[in-house]
Structure 1
Amino acid sequence: MSATLPTNDAHPGLQQGERVHTSRWTPLQILVVAICTVINALDGMDLLIMSYIAPAMAADWHVGFATLGVVFSAGLAGMLVGCVVVAPFADTLGRRPIVLLALILMTIGAVGSGFANSIGVFSALRALTGIGLGTLLASVAALVSEYAPAGRRSLAVGIFQAGYPIGAVATGLVAIVTIPAFGWKATLIGAGAISAVLLPFVWALLPESVAFLESRQPAGALALSNSLRRRMGWSELPALPPRAMAGNLPKPRDLLAPELRQATIALWASTFLSFGVLYFVTSWIPKIAVVAGLSQANGLWSGSIFNLGGVIGDLVIGWLAVRRSIGKLIALFFTLCAVLMMVFAQHLSLAFVLLTAFGLGFTLQGGFSAFYSLSAQLYPARVRSSGIGWAVGIGRGGAIIGPMVGGALLAAKLPLWITFACFAVPLIVAGWFAVLASRMRQLSVSDN
């Protein structure tokens, strides 16, 4: 592995050892992170809106929970396809066009879902929405990491990841009003309209990645790269560096090259396990809070408090990671979350349940958000979107399994602490794998 690949201090847009001498934020960098954060809020919006419309849709179409499960799985399956099939094209065609394509797919899927009149059509459109979302997450995460100021990648990704719980909380507050007033179909159409409104702003304002321009070198790359460099106060390049594997779509085996293999496998194991825990807690926390002794109304509050904790956790871990190992921070956050999960399983007062829910969101979502920073550090620009996409795609497998296993454990009416223990242990293991992936990355750089 070449020593010029990005570390936590080197900027990924630079080549052949050149470094940025300032960590200040420029207007362009702020703009890119802000746009990507808003885009990431669409993921939180999509997850929560389906949870809120499910009862109304089931009553309107006279379908049961098994059928609803198929609908939910269609969206997750679409995300998997977007992550591992479409997102890698951002490494050959560019981040910007793939982000725009993903937004178009998501808009069509969301608006179309509001006009669907059958479960089959609705599920197909939910899958299309999922493809758009899965593609977006990998592509915009790569953009954020590549536009972050020197030594500020983890902070930028933390801000970007905070968009997810913000979108989730905002959607919940809006859906509570719009579903009774306008119906679940109109609420879905409104969600699609948000994507449609965002699309022209992204087209006009979101630039291409400097790292992509200088590694893949499409037509006019030098002029466009130097124009972006001037806007960020970077030194201009007199000529482009040697071209990096131009024209070929990155393949999974590129992520398993000898210098990346151990780190990639450790990263995949970590994301798979942590995705399963995250989606179990996110999907079931209101129900678990009721099982723990709260009323239905207070149980819904626990979900909102959980997402609020996630906003703060995303920002805090991004700030901490400026000077600390991202792998060790993930392990610390996940270990604390495992302890809080066992606390949450006890019979507590309302105040302590909500406080623990906040802590769960802080540690679980905060630690989880750091995977985007870790992935960006592991992979060079030529395969960065592919690397992030495959890590998230592998994780989606855990996202499908986690809620199913959790539901089966809850249905078995086992003591709540046993159910949580079944997820706390994998979460600690996920943290250990994150440390291993981070160490493998450091070794691959220091060995050269």
Structure 2
Amino acid sequence: MVKTARAVAPGVVVAVCFLIAAVEGYDIQAFGVAAPRLVPELGLDSSQQGWAASAAMIGLVLGAFAGGWLADRTGRKPVLIASVIGFGLCSIWTALSHDYETLLAARFITGLGFGGAMPNLIAVAAEISRPERRGATVSAMFCGMPAGGAAVALAARLWGEALDWRMIFVAGGVLPLLLVPVIVLLLPETRPAAAPAADRRLLPALFAGGRAVPTLLLWAANILTLVILYLMLNWLPTLVVAKGLPPADGAAASLAFNIVGVAGALALGVVTDRLGHRWTLAAAYAGLAVAILALSRAEGAAAVLTLSAAAGFLVLGAQYALYALAPMLYGPSVRAAGAGAAVGVGRFGSIIGPLLAGELRHAGWAAGQVIDAMAPLAVGAGLAVVVLTMVARLKAD
């Protein structure tokens, strides 16, 4: 565990990082919640809506690479502060958008802030926790993301038609800005002492010293897992309705997926700390494949809700366990850059997932067939993790 610049209780650091993840999760989900009112007001067609929804994820990919690289040179804390200010201000910019071009630019730059924050949260978790608690610490921090997403969905449900879509983004901008003084006061700098420049070059850090195969396997597992996760986040209610159930059951399935997913993230974080990543994640991905296949065949509301919850428990738990695994592959001087690369490459899955579902539905696939298509991806991700943990030299500094 890396010593921080000043004594701050790890629980306080986890709480601050949880709040950062929560405001980020709120803003990531805000577009989907606001879309039913935003799209007609700005006169967007379906293609423009798709690009506006994906713009933040594209920005996140670039921001994750840049934010991780920069933090290993300047420190975690300044990059985190800049990232939070950036996506806070750009959320307000989104609220002020009156045309497609402005909206697209605002969401893209918002995504840069998202990306800058994520690898640094992973690095901070790795550096303030004992190796035997790393999985639980990372999972606890990142549980803020589904919690924030659930909060914006719940707010929209409670206020209903009375809620202006612009106010969703105003709140998503003000909350991060209010959090900045908390970060400044309570979050310590955890970056280790500077290493020689040669040791901090990104490509050697990712691929030299026997890390090429583990790095590629980690990227593959992240991509496959995020295809499943974002397909479910964006399409689960629609697919449930397409199975003949009412819209209320689709919304309930999505809520169950997210809420129970928080429990899965915490549970798998604890289990991986005790039993290791290899067989814990292999079992999680196998269970996810079974839950997906069962969900595709479920008919009644009770079965759909139960299996949606099970899928959320397993896929969110597996994704956050992968976040905890990433820092173990890389040394402290390139930890944020390595985690950022895994986050950035993995986020291609978050772009592919919703597009894949749309293309399959457009091609005439039934809802159950679209859900079935995710089962082989879960198996592939599980195999990638098993091989990764067999060949990698995991670091527990």
Please confirm whether the aligned pair reaches a TM-score higher than 0.5, indicating the same fold.
yes
1:137-162 per-residue CA deviation (whole Å, 9 max, x = no partner) reads 11111101110135111111121121
Structure 1 pair 43/335, CA: closer, same or farther in 2 (3 Å)? farther
Instruction: Tell me, yes or no, if the aligned pair for 2:296 and 2:372 is still in contact at 8 Å.
Output: no
Structure 1 pair 179/197, CA: closer, same or farther in 2 (3 Å)? farther
Instruction: Tell me, yes or no, if the aligned pair for 1:58 and 1:68 is still in contact at 8 Å.
Output: yes
Q: Does 1:39 align with 2:20?
A: yes
What TM-score do the two structures reach when normalised by structure 2? 0.94
Structure 1 pair 415/107, CA: closer, same or farther in 2 (3 Å)? closer
Q: Does 1:344 align with 2:323?
A: no
Residue number in structure 1 paired with 2:104: 123
Out of 402, 408, 414, the position equivalent to 2:365 is 414
Bigger shift: 82-91 or 173-182? 173-182
Aligned-pair CA distance for 1:181: 2.2
Residue number in structure 1 paired with 2:234: 283
Instruction: Tell me, yes or no, if the aligned pair for 1:106 and 1:192 is still in contact at 8 Å.
Output: yes
Distance 2:165 2:367 in 1: 33
Instruction: Tell me, yes or no, if the aligned pair for 1:78 and 1:131 is still in contact at 8 Å.
Output: yes
Which structure's residues are more often helix, by fraction? Answer: 2
Counterpart amino acid of residue 208 in structure 1: E
| Identical positions, percent | 27
Out of 250, 266, 270, the position equivalent to 1:299 is 250
Out of 222, 230, 245, the position equivalent to 2:196 is 245
1:32-75 per-residue CA deviation (whole Å, 9 max, x = no partner) reads 11111111112321232111111101121222221101101211
Counterpart amino acid of residue 62 in structure 1: G
Residue number in structure 2 paired with 1:213: 192
What TM-score do the two structures reach when normalised by structure 1? 0.84
Counterpart amino acid of residue 266 in structure 2: L
Instruction: Tell me, yes or no, if the aligned pair for 1:179 and 1:187 is still in contact at 8 Å.
Output: no
Out of 91, 107, 119, the position equivalent to 2:72 is 91
Structure 1 pair 248/439, CA: closer, same or farther in 2 (3 Å)? closer
Residue number in structure 2 paired with 1:102: 83
Residue number in structure 2 paired with 1:224: none
Out of 304, 310, 316, the position equivalent to 1:353 is 304
Aligned-pair CA distance for 1:85: 2.1
Distance 1:247 1:206 in 2: 29
Q: Does 1:75 align with 2:56?
A: yes
Give the paired residue count.
394
Distance 2:204 2:378 in 1: 27
Distance 2:128 2:345 in 1: 25
1:267-416 matches, within 5 Å, as: 267-416=218-367
Distance 1:178 1:109 in 2: 24
Q: Give the aligned CA root-mean-square deviation in angstroms.
A: 1.9
Counterpart amino acid of residue 304 in structure 1: L
Aligned-pair CA distance for 1:110: 0.5
| Larger Rg computed on CA atoms | 1
Instruction: Tell me, yes or no, if the aligned pair for 1:84 and 1:389 is still in contact at 8 Å.
Output: yes
Structure 1 pair 334/100, CA: closer, same or farther in 2 (3 Å)? same
Counterpart amino acid of residue 127 in structure 1: F
Residue number in structure 1 paired with 2:140: 159
Distance 1:206 1:88 in 2: 20
Classify the secondary structure of the residue corresponding to 2:273.
coil
Distance 1:248 1:125 in 2: 36
Counterpart amino acid of residue 152 in structure 1: R
Classify the secondary structure of the residue corresponding to 1:343.
helix
Bigger shift: 59-68 or 73-82? 59-68
Out of 380, 383, 390, the position equivalent to 1:429 is 380
Contiguous gaps of at least 5 residues in structure 2: none
Instruction: Tell me, yes or no, if the aligned pair for 1:178 and 1:187 is still in contact at 8 Å.
Output: no
Structure 1 pair 182/309, CA: closer, same or farther in 2 (3 Å)? closer
1:420-447 per-residue CA deviation (whole Å, 9 max, x = no partner) reads 23221022111111122222224x779x
Instruction: Tell me, yes or no, if the aligned pair for 1:92 and 1:246 is still in contact at 8 Å.
Output: no
Aligned-pair CA distance for 1:170: 1.2
Counterpart amino acid of residue 326 in structure 2: S
Instruction: Tell me, yes or no, if the aligned pair for 1:293 and 1:347 is still in contact at 8 Å.
Output: no
Distance 1:445 1:174 in 2: 42
Out of 182, 189, 196, the position equivalent to 2:170 is 189
Residue number in structure 1 paired with 2:121: 140
Aligned-pair CA distance for 1:27: 6.0
Instruction: Tell me, yes or no, if the aligned pair for 2:150 and 2:259 is still in contact at 8 Å.
Output: yes
Contiguous gaps of at least 5 residues in structure 1: 1-10, 15-25, 217-243
